[in-house]
């Protein structure tokens, strides 16, 4: 059975379609949307899936409208956007570094965003919006530092990962120091934020993240073909007309902004950026960065993790970052064992 087909579009052009990858993307989108509907119906006032859908199209009663549109829908949308941002950001970093461990979790971008948020919380007792801006600034500063320190006639593979691990260790120490200098109230607030949670998220977190994704995701997808070409090596890519370092700079900046904004919206939700691209690649069995599949996988993973955190532990609801941390930690151990057996580490 053929997995690639040529599809003709208006204007006489033809586009190659990977049938398996397209099918995986559609199924992941349906999974994410289905889990979102179930999640909206979950809570102290449970709603059936049909009631949720009826309310979403504007045919629910006033009580249902308030519960769905004001309380639960913003949380679910933040979860979808954060998961999608982390998924595509992780795919970009893993493709640029050519390393399955080259994700924002390992490179220290999450820790950098955490440092920015902790600085605002501990030193300035900032508001929620100020904490989000601090996290965004911390992620950008950390990403810039990693890029500059990893630069040596370009940014390549293991150098990027090793520099990121070193920067992560330094920033983690800074975070620990900030926590020791804070009072008990700010420390408790900081620890809650550092766990990664979707609790209390509203439309104030949805719109900035949606706007950023609306700008950056098309930029990333427009450069996906050139990114795939760089996997053949810098010399061949340059010979084919790809401006490799400019491409890496644009895509790394996009990945840093997506990751930092996701962290600003929900805290440092761990391991989604690491696992989503790898799971997407295994499902599609397609070479290249699998950007769209990774984005859909990240959204599905985070919404499913949030559903598990609300339903699997009875009355006790865990922050979504705890669930993703446990699942991602198990996956990381499996990945390390697999890479070692293959002789790559």
End-to-end Cα, the chain, rounded Å: 35
Q: What are 97's two structure tokens?
A: 């570094």
Q: What are 60's two structure tokens?
A: 């629910």
Split at pLDDT 50, 70, 90, the class of 23 is: very high
Alpha helices in the chain (DSSP H): 19-40, 49-56, 62-65, 73-97, 104-107, 109-124, 128-150, 157-180, 184-195, 203-222, 224-229, 234-239, 244-266, 272-284, 291-311, 320-341
- Averaged pLDDT for residues 57-80: 88
- Averaged pLDDT for residues 148-176: 82
Sequence-distant contacts of 221-225: CB under 8 A, at least 24 apart: 221/291, 221/292, 223/247, 223/250, 223/251, 224/288, 224/289, 224/291
Q: Which tens digit of pLDDT belongs to each residue from 276-306? A: 998 998 898 887 788 999 999 999 999 999 9
Instruction: Kindly report whether the global pTM for this prediction surpasses the value 0.75.
Output: yes
Share of the chain above pLDDT 90, in %: 25
Residues in the chain: 345
pLDDT computed for residue 201 by the predictor: 86
Split at pLDDT 50, 70, 90, the class of 1 is: very low
- Averaged pLDDT for residues 329-333: 79
Q: Which tens digit of pLDDT belongs to each residue from 165-188? A: 899 899 999 988 888 888 888 888
pLDDT of 143 strictly over 70: yes
pLDDT of 344 strictly over 90: no
- Averaged pLDDT for residues 233-258: 80
Residues 165/97, Cβ–Cβ less than 8 Å: no
Closest CA to 41 of 79, 80, 67, 62: 67
Residues 96/156, Cβ–Cβ less than 8 Å: no
Split at pLDDT 50, 70, 90, the class of 157 is: low
Instruction: Please tell me the distance from the alpha carbon of residue 41 to that of residue 252, in angstroms, as a whole number.
Output: 37
Other Cβ atoms within 10 Å of 145 Cβ, number? 17
Placement of tokens 């998220």 in the chain: 201
pLDDT of 7 strictly over 60: no
- Give 341 or 17, the one with higher predicted confidence: 341
């Amino acid at each position: 059975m053929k997995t690639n087909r040529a599809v003709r579009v208006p204007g006489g052009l033809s586009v190659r379609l990977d049938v398996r990858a397209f099918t995986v993307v559609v199924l992941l989108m349906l999974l994410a949307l289905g889990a979102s509907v179930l999640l909206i119906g979950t809570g102290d006032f449970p709603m059936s899936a049909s009631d949720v859908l009826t309310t979403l199209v504007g045919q629910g009663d006033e009580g249902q409208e308030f519960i769905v549109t004001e309380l639960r829908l913003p949380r679910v949308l933040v979860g979808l956007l954060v998961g999608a941002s982390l998924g595509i950001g992780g795919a970009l970093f893993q493709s640029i570094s050519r390393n399955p461990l080259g994700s924002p979790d390992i490179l220290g971008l999450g820790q950098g965003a955490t440092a920015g948020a902790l600085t605002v919380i501990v030193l300035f007792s900032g508001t929620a919006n100020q904490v989000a801006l601090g996290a965004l600034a911390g992620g950008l500063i950390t990403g810039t530092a990693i890029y500059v320190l990893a630069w040596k006639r370009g940014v390549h593979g293991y150098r990027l990962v090793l520099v990121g691990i070193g920067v992560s260790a330094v920033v983690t120490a800074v975070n620990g120091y900030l926590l020791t200098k804070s009072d008990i109230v700010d420390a408790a607030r900081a620890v809650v934020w550092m766990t990664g949670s979707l609790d209390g998220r509203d439309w104030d977190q949805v719109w900035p993240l949606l706007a950023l994704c609306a700008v950056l995701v098309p930029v990333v997808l427009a450069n996906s073909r050139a990114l795939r070409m760089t996997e053949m090596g810098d010399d061949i890519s340059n010979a084919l007309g790809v401006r490799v370092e400019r491409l890496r700079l644009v895509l790394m900046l996009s990945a840093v902004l997506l990751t930092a904004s996701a962290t600003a919206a929900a805290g440092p939700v761990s391991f989604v950026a690491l696992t989503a691209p790898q799971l997407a690649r295994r499902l599609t069995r397609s070479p290249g960065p699998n950007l769209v599949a990774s984005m859909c996988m990240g959204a599905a993973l985070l919404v499913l993790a949030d559903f598990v955190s609300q339903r699997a532990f009875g009355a006790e609801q865990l922050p979504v970052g705890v669930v993703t941390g446990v699942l991602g930690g198990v996956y990381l151990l499996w990945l390390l064992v697999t890479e070692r057996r293959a002789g790559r580490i």
